[in-house]
């Protein structure tokens, strides 16, 4: 909450959005877990309470009153649950409510992010939450009260043993003074109680003991009115000087007037205004004060939780790009120094030692910088749990989502392009693929359908598969539909795969009725567009009655790959190491050549085409005899070929950079997927095996 000192709105707003989004993600995870476990554990209740509390506080500060009010209601609900811990509440109902609240907040944040006013009416939702609170209050009251009372007493005793809130300042012992302050907030600033709490929160760092009036800031609407009318009174013990404290108080937002007094009689002052202002018996006052202390503890744990979260920072991606470029430069500069021609022939033991150390450090630095951009797909995958939950509930289907390979790391840009297609695919799988439990049982399948979402690295691609065990695609129906829509000829002689791929055409849907979730024929089109935008492909496989698998293949355009550097003449090329099967020097007897001049090689009874890189890329080289150079057997997208190069130069982690747009615009080179920088600053071209093969096949076809 140190943000509050930050007055500048823009960074604050950014921070707010970032924080709120993060909290919402956390909340979603907790709720899904709760629902799975069919109950909310105490830790989770506290966590939800804290999240809502933080959102409420920051939303109120940012003047997003509807968000604040919704979160306030949820907070109320959880405050009740936390305090009273009613035994019988309906977990799913609570989860539904919180999900609704969460969606509301998310919508608002989206609006804020888009720079539009977030002014959706929160009243109906707030009303629903309030109603539910009343409901559980009624049911929980009679039985839970007795128990609660005793528990509360326990707690009190426990706290008696504990000291007052001790803040970090204890270390530097300065003479403490007692102060009393009266704060008036600006007229119409609203949420005075929250603002008062902020003031207290800010003071907490610097004061050993704080008491304030009214005591209860959150759960009592009258306290707000009280603050408006009589001002907010704080009593505190602090080592700060009068001036420092005054400054601190004036720093808070919307403070109109502060009266700060140094005082001697601290204890007296506490009880005095209490008895005159809010009629409360001594026991009650005691209780609220312990409550107050407790809330301090809560906020202390909140602080520590926040510290953990702050291990993550958000960085503009452009800065990372720049950093990566600079590190690349550094590596080049390093090799320029250590391989400087001036040093040739000199005996430099110490220099070499230090140079090695430097090389090690720059290597490490490079590795780290490269890994920064990579994010595991887990976050995107986990978002799907919610969709599965909502949809299976609405459609009355039982679906479980299995996730594999979520640790696969993908470049940030690609992750952004992945989330929408995945959502559509999961929706499709549930809506079209998975049958109702009755149908499933009739087919002899387990009641619960399953969707497997899997990510893995394959060559220079990331492959994401979404597989369901539903009814599969109906080949005939698709064909029929395509023919009626005039998309294809009736007897075009298409393979199953080609027919299944028809479903990706815009406006193509075999579903008769449009539902809330699908049937408009847009989804698959979105998938295709998004994946194509990052240069990927979509492929559909299906077996009727068994299920459907949709495979997204996305190149790691900006990602890091392990590459094998090879040399052809003076040129350098890189082949993704994952696509290399083996490399070997051929024996004359293995080589075959057909009448068209196509060269092939026989390895272990299999015949593979040979691609001469120097011919293909028109590079001058002395090595033209197969037995002098080396053959690299590479495989991509199920096709294999041997690539002939002069020599292997070694393995290296490389960052794939796209070829300049200018060149791409001039001509699309299918055999190259990009370029990369080598350690010495020279550029190496990355070979796209699939492209090379495709090209070769086309040539052959043309010949025929």
Partner 1 sequence: MSEEMQAVFGEQEDTQKDKYLTFCIGSEAYAIEIRFVTEIIGIQPITEVPELPEYIRGIINLRGKIIPVMDVRLRFKKPFKDYNDRTCIIVVDIGAVSIGFIVDTVSEVLLIPEAEIVNPPEISKGGNRYIKGIGKAGSEVKLILDCDRLINEDDMECLEKLI
Q: Which residues form the interface with partner 1 (CB under 8 A)?
A: 324-326, 328-329, 332, 571-572, 616-619, 657, 659-663, 666-667, 669, 671-672, 675, 677, 681-685
Closest CB 1 distance from partner 1, rounded Å: 40
Nearer to partner 1, 365 or 539 (CB): 365
Nearer to partner 1, 223 or 366 (CB): 366
3-state SS string for 38-84: CCCCHHHHHHHHHHHHHHHHHHHHCCCHHHHHHHHHHHHHHHHHHHH
Nearer to partner 1, 7 or 662 (CB): 662
Task: Using DSSP bridges, classify how beta strands 647-655 and 560-568 pair: parallel, antiparallel or unpaired.
Answer: antiparallel
Nearer to partner 1, 58 or 684 (CB): 684
Closest CB 535 distance from partner 1, rounded Å: 17
Hey, is 316 helix, strand or coil? coil
Collect all residues with Cβ–Cβ distance below 8 Å to 539 and sequence separation of at least 6. 497, 501, 550, 551, 553
Nearer to partner 1, 5 or 336 (CB): 336
Rounded CA-CA distance 541/495 in Å is 11
Nearer to partner 1, 149 or 326 (CB): 326
Rounded CA-CA distance 115/119 in Å is 12
Closest CB 67 distance from partner 1, rounded Å: 39
373, 317 Cβ separation under 8 angstroms: yes
| Most distant pair of Cα atoms in the chain: their distance | 109
Closest CB 557 distance from partner 1, rounded Å: 13
Closest CB 582 distance from partner 1, rounded Å: 26
Q: Measured in whole angstroms, how far is the alpha carbon of residue 386 from the centre of its chain?
A: 14
Closest CB 321 distance from partner 1, rounded Å: 9
Nearer to partner 1, 402 or 683 (CB): 683
List the 537-543 sheet strands across, edge first.
399-404, 449-458, 461-468, 547-555, 537-543
> Which residue has tokens 């095996």?
689
Nearer to partner 1, 102 or 685 (CB): 685
Closest CB 6 distance from partner 1, rounded Å: 34
Nearer to partner 1, 86 or 569 (CB): 569
Closest CB 328 distance from partner 1, rounded Å: 4
Nearer to partner 1, 543 or 683 (CB): 683
Nearer to partner 1, 683 or 697 (CB): 683
Best CA proximity match to 469, nearest among 444, 496, 494, 504: 444
Hey, is 411 helix, strand or coil? strand
Closest CB 394 distance from partner 1, rounded Å: 46
Rounded CA-CA distance 210/216 in Å is 13
Token pair belonging to 189: 């600033």
335, 355 Cβ separation under 8 angstroms: no
Q: What is the DSSP string of 3-19?
A: GGG---HHHHHHHHHHH
Q: Where are the alpha helices (DSSP H) in 189-346?
A: 192-204, 221-230, 242-251, 266-277, 282-309, 317-338
Rounded CA-CA distance 402/468 in Å is 10
Rounded CA-CA distance 567/630 in Å is 10
Closest CB 658 distance from partner 1, rounded Å: 8
Rounded CA-CA distance 105/697 in Å is 54
Q: Where are the alpha helices (DSSP H) in 41-188?
A: 42-61, 65-84, 91-113, 123-161
Show contacts of 589-594: CB within 8 Å, 24+ apart. Answer: 591/626
Closest CB 355 distance from partner 1, rounded Å: 22
Closest CB 663 distance from partner 1, rounded Å: 5
Closest CB 410 distance from partner 1, rounded Å: 22
Closest CB 317 distance from partner 1, rounded Å: 15
Q: What is the DSSP string of 560-617?
A: EEEEEEEEETTEEEEEEGGGEEEEEPPPGGGEEE-TT--EEEEETTEEEEEEEHHHHT
Nearer to partner 1, 169 or 617 (CB): 617
Nearer to partner 1, 530 or 684 (CB): 684
Nearer to partner 1, 231 or 671 (CB): 671
Nearer to partner 1, 204 or 572 (CB): 572
Closest CB 223 distance from partner 1, rounded Å: 58
Q: Kindly state the helix (H) or strand (E) to which residue 384 belongs, with its residue range.
A: helix 378-395
Nearer to partner 1, 443 or 663 (CB): 663
Task: Please classify residue 25 by burial: count the beta carbons closer than 10 Å to its beta carbon, then call 0-12 exposed, 13-18 middle and 19+ buried.
Answer: middle
Handedness of CA 110, 116, 121, 122 (dihedral sign): positive
Main-chain phi, psi angles of 121, to 5 degrees = -75, 125
Hey, is 688 helix, strand or coil? coil
Other CB atoms within 10 A of residue 479 CB: 17
Closest CB 562 distance from partner 1, rounded Å: 20
Collect all residues with Cβ–Cβ distance below 8 Å to 451 and sequence separation of at least 6. 388, 399, 400, 401, 402, 426, 429, 430, 433, 434, 466, 467, 468
Nearer to partner 1, 63 or 326 (CB): 326
Show contacts of 323-326: CB within 8 Å, 24+ apart. Answer: 323/369, 323/372, 324/369, 324/370, 324/373, 324/655
Closest CB 313 distance from partner 1, rounded Å: 23
């Amino acid at each position: 909450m140190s943000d509050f000192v930050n007055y500048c709105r823009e960074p604050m707003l950014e921070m707010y959005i970032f924080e709120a989004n993060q909290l919402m993600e956390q909340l979603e995870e907790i709720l899904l877990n709760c629902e799975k476990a069919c109950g909310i554990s105490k830790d989770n209740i506290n966590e939800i309470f804290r999240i809502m509390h933080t959102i409420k506080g920051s939303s109120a500060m940012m003047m997003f009153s509807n968000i604040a009010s919704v979160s306030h209601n949820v907070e109320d609900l959880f405050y009740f649950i936390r305090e009273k811990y009613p035994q019988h509440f309906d977990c799913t109902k609570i989860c539904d409510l919180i999900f609704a609240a969460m969606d509301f907040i998310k919508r608002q944040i989206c609006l804020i992010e888009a720079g539009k006013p977030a002014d959706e009416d929160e009243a109906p939702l707030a009303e629903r939450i309030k109603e539910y609170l009343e409901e559980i209050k009624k049911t929980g009251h009679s039985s839970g009260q007795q128990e609660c009372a005793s528990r509360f007493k326990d707690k009190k005793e426990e706290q008696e043993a504990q000291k007052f809130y001790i803040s970090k300042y204890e270390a530097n012992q300065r003479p403490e003074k007692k102060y009393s302050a009266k704060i008036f907030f600006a007229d119409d600033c609203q949420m005075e109680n929250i603002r008062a709490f902020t003031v207290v929160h800010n003071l907490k760092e610097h004061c050993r003991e704080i008491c304030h009036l009214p005591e209860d800031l959150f759960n009592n609407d009258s306290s707000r009115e009280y603050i408006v009318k009589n001002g907010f009174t704080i009593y505190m013990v602090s080592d700060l000087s009068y001036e420092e404290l005054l400054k601190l108080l004036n720093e808070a937002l919307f403070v109109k007037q502060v009266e700060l007094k140094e005082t001697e009689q601290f204890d007296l002052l506490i009880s005095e205004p209490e008895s005159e202002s809010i009629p409360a018996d001594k026991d009650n006052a005691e209780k609220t004060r312990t409550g107050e202390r407790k809330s301090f503890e809560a906020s202390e744990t909140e602080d520590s939780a926040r510290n953990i979260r702050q291990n993550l920072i958000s960085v503009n991606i452009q800065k990372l790009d720049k950093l990566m470029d600079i590190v690349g430069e550094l590596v080049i500069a390093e090799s320029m120094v250590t391989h400087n021609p001036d040093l040739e022939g000199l005996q430099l033991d110490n220099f070499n030692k230090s140079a090695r150390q430097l090389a090690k450090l720059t290597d490490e630095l490079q590795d780290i910088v490269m890994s920064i951009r990579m994010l595991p797909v887990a976050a995107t995958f986990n978002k799907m749990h919610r969709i599965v939950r909502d949809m299976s509930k609405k459609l009355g289907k039982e679906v479980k989502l299995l996730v594999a390979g979520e640790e696969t790391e993908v470049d940030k840009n690609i992750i952004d392009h992945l989330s929408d297609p995945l959502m559509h695919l999961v929706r499709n799988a549930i809506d079209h693929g998975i049958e109702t439990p009755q149908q499933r049982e009739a087919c002899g399948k387990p009641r619960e359908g399953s969707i497997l979402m899997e990510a893995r690295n394959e060559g220079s691609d990331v492959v994401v598969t979404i597989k369901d065990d539903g009814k599969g695609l109906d080949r005939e129906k698709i064909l029929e539909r395509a023919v009626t829509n005039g998309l294809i000829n009736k007897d075009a002689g298409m393979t199953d795969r080609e027919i299944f791929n028809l479903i990706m055409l815009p406006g193509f849907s075999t579903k008769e009725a449009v539902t809330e979730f699908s049937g408009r024929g847009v989804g698959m089109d979105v998938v295709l567009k998004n994946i194509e935008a990052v240069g990927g492909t979509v492929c559909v496989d299906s077996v009727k009655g068994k299920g459907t698998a949709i495979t997204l293949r996305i190149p790691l355009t900006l990602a890091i790959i392990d590459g094998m550097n090879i040399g052809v003449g003076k040129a350098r090329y890189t082949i993704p190491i994952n696509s290399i099967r083996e490399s070997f020097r051929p024996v004359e007897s293995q080589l075959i050549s057909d009448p068209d001049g196509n060269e092939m090689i026989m390895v272990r009874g299999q015949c593979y085409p040979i691609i001469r890189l120097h011919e293909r890329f028109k590079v001058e080289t002395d090595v033209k005899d197969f037995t002098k150079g080396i053959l690299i057997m590479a495989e991509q997208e199920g096709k294999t070929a041997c690539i002939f190069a002069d020599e292997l130069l070694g393995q290296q982690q490389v960052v794939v950079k796209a070829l300049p747009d200018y060149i791409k615009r001039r001509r699309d080179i299918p055999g190259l997927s990009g370029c990369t920088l080598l350690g010495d600053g020279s550029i190496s071209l990355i070979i796209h095996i699939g492209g090379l093969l495709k090209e070769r096949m086309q040539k052959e076809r043309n010949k025929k």
